[in-house]
Amino acid sequence: MVVFLNRDRETDLQFIKDYKPTADDQQKFRILLHGLVGAGKSSLICSILSVLEGRVRVRAAVCNIGQDSFTKEVNRKYFSLIRTKGEMYPIVLNDMMGMETSNRRHRRVYVRNVEMALQGHIMDGYTFNCEKCLSKTDQFYNKTPTVNDQVHVLVSVIDADKINLLGNSTLEKFQDMRDDATDQGIPNVVILTKIDELCPETQKDLKNVCRSRLIKQKVNYFFKMLGIPENFIFPVKNYCTERSLDKDMNALLLNTLRRIIEIGEEHLTNKRM
């Protein structure tokens, strides 16, 4: 859990700014975000960029991916690099359209798309279709993915306030995607969003995230249901209605991004050994 100290926040920010993949200075560190519709994937990316840019960005729902790596949920594209103030970070955040829980076919297609994305077969700019998987004959299908195309960390974005509403079939799909990532040597972490809506004490003061019994219960739930280690589960609050940056929100977001990078780097190192 994050310790809310200015020096920790600044240290995490500097780590991210200085970060270069250890394997190759030209390599990109690719993070794949997936989750249910409305879980807050795009808001999470907007929030991360807000921290890195030093200003609150417009909400993800009104961003334009063709211009700056965003689309609306109904027309989600696979997109590319973190760029702030003209600076290109060696970090790729790939977003996917959200998974619908009520449609069996949609769930199957979604899992298959995640599998192809993990392997690096989906090119940037592809627009997801919830009714069918990417075809091998499609112009956005990458037949020969390189290490830069492959995913290094799979991030499951979950609405903390709706965890108990997840049905068995949905949990099974999350487990299927986790198993597939594990088979490929790709770590899977969970980001719990909207923690302020879950916990009134955290809503009053975000520092209470460290002591929240409700948040601890949700973390423990995912540990038991999916086998994801508790130190691979990160609670955050995205920027939504705020008009200025908040140091505690920044601390959570920066520490989460840093830990994701460290987890991915550790697994990449182990794969090379």
Residue 167: per-residue pLDDT? 86
Q: What is the mean pLDDT of residues 32-44?
A: 91
Higher pLDDT, 85 or 148: 148
Task: Tell me whether strands 81-84 and 87-94 are parallel, antiparallel or unpaired.
Answer: antiparallel
Residue 161: per-residue pLDDT? 87
- Residue 189 reports pLDDT greater than 60: yes
* pLDDT digit string, tens, across residues 136-178: 999 999 999 988 888 999 999 999 988 888 888 889 999 999 9
Q: What is the mean pLDDT of residues 21-25?
A: 71
Q: What is the mean pLDDT of residues 5-14?
A: 78
CB atoms under 10 Å from CB of 108, counted, come to 13
Q: What is the 3-state secondary structure (H, E, C) of 190-221?
A: EEEECHHHHCHHHHHCHHHHHCCHHHHHHHHH
- Residue 102 reports pLDDT greater than 80: no
Residue 169: per-residue pLDDT? 87
Q: What is the mean pLDDT of residues 7-13?
A: 84
Entry pTM: 0.88
Most confident of 19-33, 81-95, 251-265: 251-265
Residue 77: per-residue pLDDT? 58
- Residue 190 reports pLDDT greater than 90: yes
Give whole-number Cα distances, 244 to 56, 75, 249, 250, in Å. Answer: 6, 29, 11, 11
First to last CA, the chain: 30
Residue 179: per-residue pLDDT? 93
Q: Tokens at residue 216, please? A: 């601890």
CB atoms under 10 Å from CB of 237, counted, come to 25
* pLDDT digit string, tens, across residues 261-273: 999 998 877 666 5
Residue 196: per-residue pLDDT? 92
Integer Cα distance of 51 and 15 in angstroms: 13
Q: Output DSSP code: residue 161.
A: G
- Residue 25 reports pLDDT greater than 80: no
* pLDDT digit string, tens, across residues 59-81: 544 333 333 333 333 345 565 55
By the 10 Å C-beta count (0-12 exposed, 13-18 middle, 19+ buried), 24 is classed as: exposed
Q: Is 99 helix (H, G, I), strand (E, B) or coil?
A: strand
Q: What is the mean pLDDT of residues 197-205?
A: 90
Q: What is the mean pLDDT of residues 50-57?
A: 89
pLDDT band at residue 120 under the 50/70/90 scheme: very high
* CATH level 3 topology of 6-15+30-262: Rossmann fold (3.40.50)
Residue 269: per-residue pLDDT? 75
Residue 66: per-residue pLDDT? 33
Amino acid at 14: Q
Residue ranges covered by each domain of the chain: 6-15+30-262
Q: What is the mean pLDDT of residues 28-46?
A: 90
* pLDDT digit string, tens, across residues 206-260: 988 988 999 999 999 889 888 899 999 999 999 988 999 999 999 999 999 999 9
Mean pLDDT of the chain: 84
